[in-house]
Structure 1
Amino acid sequence: MSTSSLHFTILPSLGLGDIKLGTSLNENIKLLEKINIRFIFNPSKLLNSNYIVQLKNCGINLIFNSIDQLLILIEINIIKSSIKDNYNYNYNINNIRLIYNNNFINSMVLQNLYNNIFGPTNQGDFQNDDYYLSYPGLTLIFKNVSKLYQINTNNMVEFINRNDLICDRILIHQFEKYSKYSIDSDINNQIKRSYYNLNLLNSIEIDQLNNIKLSFYNISKQNSFEINLKLQITLQEEILNKIGPPDEIFIKNDNKLNIHNRYNSSSASNDNNNDNVINNDVNTGEIFHNYFNYGFDLLYDCNYKSGSKLSKLIIHNNLPTSIKFGKYNKPIKISINGVNNILNQSFDQINTNFDIETSNPILINKSIEKFQSFQIIFNIDDDIDLNQKNLIYIENNSNRIWEILNNCIESITLY
């Protein structure tokens, strides 16, 4: 897919070609892997500022909220020739062709857009010096209209036939009417989710005993379903029958994985109606099932005669500063012990709700991998240390491990 001849169809309220509003950050990065893109975020505000994926040579910005990492806004920058934007790179709108209703948009003059392309709509409005002309799910922005053209009325009759008002930006969104404040309001958290997968993970609920309830929505059947999981009890076969196969399987024969096991082989046997292990002295292996689309991993213990049993659940937050960024979708809703929105709170905010030992954390040094498909840009002036310091905390009496990165939760392990 060459950026020299990209064609994009404008779909108000829906998206831009194959780029759909409401889809996840990771899905779009994978979709655009053959295009020159880069990712922009503010590391000092990981949990409360938007993320931007830029198609570098096309002038297109995809804006995602950080809460659930879903696409909430598509911004198409229109200009006659190559320009420099706020993030210091050059692009040319001629690298793409825009299509609406099966017709190419050959002129970005207001007169053409209003009369020939998008048609009549309600009166636009001025926001500062810029003129916003909105359709349901689509907004045209004309920059510095009142300042450059001495136009200060919302009455389109006054300037609809002018041939010198050129559209500066096109926004695709899910609002009836867009304002520059819409993107920062609570309404962006109500985005309609789109999906490419058969099952959509709605929530993960964990109680004090680490019993787990996964709630899904089945796209084809258009109904919701749940599955309850118990560590050391629920069989792999039950889970596969309910939620389907994983995205990746990893088989591990390594006793080091047992350091967090809360039962030894004999006690596990007694707790499961004498479901004797295959061999008390030899670990026959453990299996990782990676569900990248759901944002979690399941680890199974293969040492039971009745079948492999769930031994660990690992939930990932897909932090941009993590070495695992871009691998997992961020789960939308996580609650533990009745505390909601776990992944969207800082560790300082949530640690008072749990009996977490913070006096002696385990320190792990990690380095962000060099991404080959896209470039990461820090949207701040300060120098950033890419050698991240992960802190590992053990929750007392609850068999949970909290991995913290820059005071944000990177992952939670139940074992």
Structure 2
Amino acid sequence: MATSRDSPAPVLPGRALGFLTLGASLHHVVTRLKSLPEIYKALELVYDIAKPLQEPVILQLPENGLRLRFDGPDQRLRLIEVLDFSKIPLVYKTHEVVKPSKSPSDPPGFGPGFRHIYNRLFGPTYPGEYTPPVAGETHGTYVLSYPGVAFSFSLLHSAWTEKQDFVSLMSSSAASAALSMAIFQGSSWSDGQSNLFTRQPQYPRSSALMGKNKESVADEVELVKVHEGGHIELIRRSSNPFWIILGETTPQDLITELGPPDAIYRKSDSRILIHGEGEKNVAGTTNGGGNLPTPPTDPSDIDPQFDSALTDESEEDSGAATNNESALPSDCFYNYFSHGFDILVAPSTSGRRSPGSPTRELYATGGTPELVTSKIILHGNVPGSYPFNRHRRCRWMLPFGSNKEAITSETPYGEISPILKERWRGSYASPAEEASFQRGMVLNRGWGETPGSSIEFLGSWEDNPSNKNKTDHNSEIPSSLGNTELYGFPGLLFEVLKNGSVNCLTVY
């Protein structure tokens, strides 16, 4: 991808188009594109409103002739498509992919001719695939593929025959110049298409892990497994798993294993804690006399930046402050936007912990409590949600189901709720306490400008067969999924969107 308007984007088959690398996270790609608004002026996000985590997500760049396809569950770049060659200069090794048009008769947006591709750019290859036209059309589509890259052409159907040499056929006037180009992972287009959205990506989510200083960058987190007793296992791409134990893991542990936080949010305003005034009890106790912690009611439990009007400070440049515990307030969030989660660091005597999690003693002299991890907030980055693109998507798993059936970050809350209700049945002190955990609390997400407000949300994507009969999503689908509801279980707090997707999971 170009970083200036006139510089060409290098084509790297099976890997990348400029800085757009296959396997990159949706968060990383959008953040990079938004940092160059003079080049990438319009971003359109197309997704399935009913199933945004199951169906692919499409990012369209109409001003640049590009379309990027991401899988829904992991939100990683799977396919890069050039749809208009006139809007983006391309180069393969030392050759221009498309030379500037010199004739006004040349069709706008068309790409390189077959001969240029076959003789000068990529060389000989196996015969491609031909798709006949639909009823009433005169031209079919011919796809010429190489490992990691493919071109599509319009071909006059009456000229098509399997008996003719495809090089002669595609070099004739019956074939157009290339209509589009695709970059993918696979030995051919048919191979890449067969498992386009499920193949294990070869490259990481962030380009920082491929640069010269990759050894100094913390390994990316692939999956978070939430175990009982406040034990949280972080599965990483290359390194061994890192365990966070609520009430024990220190800020130094976090920085050593995860790197310095991208920002520090100082949790210093308590005006929104009015609902919790009756819950000021010692950690590990309840206001109902049972053995379960009281469910948190602070909106920052699921979004540290819930209301910027109530915040004192958020430090983006955290490198100089992260190693000095004495400089931190009693409670603060370590924001790991690139990992997809926030971690609350607080004195070891404060907060409410998961049932069975350890309680630390006071180690410092003078009774000063040690700072430890109090809770972790796992963000879903669901398209259309209020905090979209603030964090990259973090996938998680709860091994709480029957027969160890895993609850995952893609499981609709309607399926999660009965499993957890059964899991915790009989653990509450009273029916009233059980109801207090599982009563939905509405969280208003409609006020103010959303973090992803410079992205146009277009609703359901056009290639989903279930959406063919829907109306024009550009005008009738809201740009946000609106308010959310909070549901609590012992040690867990779910933020649920109107479509049933879990947008955020807080483990405390």
TM-score by length of 1: 0.82
The aligned residue for residue 417 of structure 2 is 351
1:394-405 maps to which residues of 2 (within 5 A)? 394-395=488-489, 398-405=490-497
State the 1:376 CA deviation: 2.2
Aligned CA distance change for structure 1 residues 19 and 187 (closer, same or farther; 3 Å): closer
Aligned CA distance change for structure 1 residues 263 and 245 (closer, same or farther; 3 Å): farther
The aligned residue for residue 127 of structure 1 is 131
1:202 aligns with 2:218: no
The aligned residue for residue 231 of structure 2 is 211
* Equivalent position amino acid for 1:399 in 2: G
1:226-245 maps to which residues of 2 (within 5 A)? 226-245=241-260
Equivalent-residue separation in structure 2 for 1:102 and 1:175 (angstroms): 24
1:360 aligns with 2:439: yes
Aligned residues: 377
Aligned CA distance change for structure 1 residues 208 and 333 (closer, same or farther; 3 Å): closer
Deviations 1:200-246 (A, max 9, x none): 112211112231111224xxxxx412222221222222222222111
State the 1:264 CA deviation: 4.0
The aligned residue for residue 411 of structure 1 is 504
Aligned CA distance change for structure 1 residues 261 and 310 (closer, same or farther; 3 Å): farther
State which drifts further: 192-201 or 237-246.
192-201
Where structure 1 has 5 or more consecutive residues not aligned to the other structure, the ranges are 79-92, 218-222, 269-283
Deviations 1:299-323 (A, max 9, x none): 0113663521111111010001211
1:20-35 maps to which residues of 2 (within 5 A)? 20-33=21-34, 34=36, 35=40
The aligned residue for residue 84 of structure 1 is none
Aligned CA distance change for structure 1 residues 152 and 334 (closer, same or farther; 3 Å): farther
The aligned residue for residue 484 of structure 2 is 390
State which drifts further: 151-160 or 26-35.
151-160
Alpha-carbon contact 1:4-1:95 (below 8 Å) kept: no
The aligned residue for residue 88 of structure 1 is none
Deviations 1:331-380 (A, max 9, x none): 24534435546111211232232128696311223128354543222235
1:15-94 maps to which residues of 2 (within 5 A)? 15-33=16-34, 34=36, 35-36=40-41, 37-78=43-84, 93-94=85-86
Alpha-carbon contact 1:333-1:340 (below 8 Å) kept: no
Equivalent-residue separation in structure 2 for 1:235 and 1:115 (angstroms): 61
Match of 2:376 among 300, 305, 313: 313
Give the structure with the larger strand fraction: 1
Question: Secondary structure of the residue that 1:159 maps to in structure 2?
Answer: helix
Where structure 2 has 5 or more consecutive residues not aligned to the other structure, the ranges are 100-111, 133-139, 209-216, 286-328, 350-367, 425-434, 461-469
Question: Secondary structure of the residue that 1:167 maps to in structure 2?
Answer: strand
The aligned residue for residue 104 of structure 2 is none
The aligned residue for residue 327 of structure 1 is 390
Alpha-carbon contact 1:286-1:299 (below 8 Å) kept: yes
* Equivalent position amino acid for 2:444 in 1: N
Equivalent-residue separation in structure 2 for 1:226 and 1:246 (angstroms): 19
Equivalent-residue separation in structure 2 for 1:260 and 1:120 (angstroms): 74
Equivalent-residue separation in structure 2 for 1:310 and 1:262 (angstroms): 20
State the 1:50 CA deviation: 1.3
Deviations 1:45-90 (A, max 9, x none): 2122211112221211111111100000001114xxxxxxxxxxxx
Equivalent-residue separation in structure 2 for 1:202 and 1:254 (angstroms): 33
The aligned residue for residue 356 of structure 2 is none
1:102 aligns with 2:94: yes
* Equivalent position amino acid for 1:131 in 2: Y
State which drifts further: 9-18 or 107-116.
107-116
The aligned residue for residue 375 of structure 1 is 456
Question: Secondary structure of the residue that 2:50 maps to in structure 1?
Answer: helix
Aligned CA distance change for structure 1 residues 69 and 213 (closer, same or farther; 3 Å): same
* Equivalent position amino acid for 1:64 in 2: F
Alpha-carbon contact 1:201-1:214 (below 8 Å) kept: yes
Alpha-carbon contact 2:78-2:196 (below 8 Å) kept: no
Question: Secondary structure of the residue that 1:115 maps to in structure 2?
Answer: helix
State which drifts further: 291-300 or 331-340.
331-340
State which drifts further: 157-166 or 202-211.
157-166
Question: Secondary structure of the residue that 2:254 maps to in structure 1?
Answer: helix
Alpha-carbon contact 1:110-1:167 (below 8 Å) kept: yes
State the 1:193 CA deviation: 3.3
* Equivalent position amino acid for 1:363 in 2: V
Equivalent-residue separation in structure 2 for 1:231 and 1:60 (angstroms): 44
Question: Secondary structure of the residue that 1:250 maps to in structure 2?
Answer: strand
Question: Secondary structure of the residue that 2:119 maps to in structure 1?
Answer: helix
Question: Secondary structure of the residue that 2:82 maps to in structure 1?
Answer: strand
Aligned CA distance change for structure 1 residues 352 and 189 (closer, same or farther; 3 Å): farther
Alpha-carbon contact 2:247-2:348 (below 8 Å) kept: no
Equivalent-residue separation in structure 2 for 1:333 and 1:387 (angstroms): 22
Provide the aligned C-alpha RMSD in A: 3.0
Percent of residue pairs bearing the same amino acid type: 23
1:168-317 maps to which residues of 2 (within 5 A)? 168-179=179-190, 183=193, 185=195, 188-194=198-204, 195-197=206-208, 198=217, 199-217=219-237, 223-255=238-270, 259=276, 264-265=281-282, 285-302=330-347, 305-317=368-380
State which drifts further: 157-166 or 192-201.
157-166
Alpha-carbon contact 1:9-1:100 (below 8 Å) kept: yes
1:155 aligns with 2:173: no
Deviations 1:26-58 (A, max 9, x none): 111111112112222221221222111122212
Deviations 1:272-303 (A, max 9, x none): xxxxxxxxxxxx63010011111111001136
State which drifts further: 403-412 or 257-266.
257-266
TM-score by length of 2: 0.68
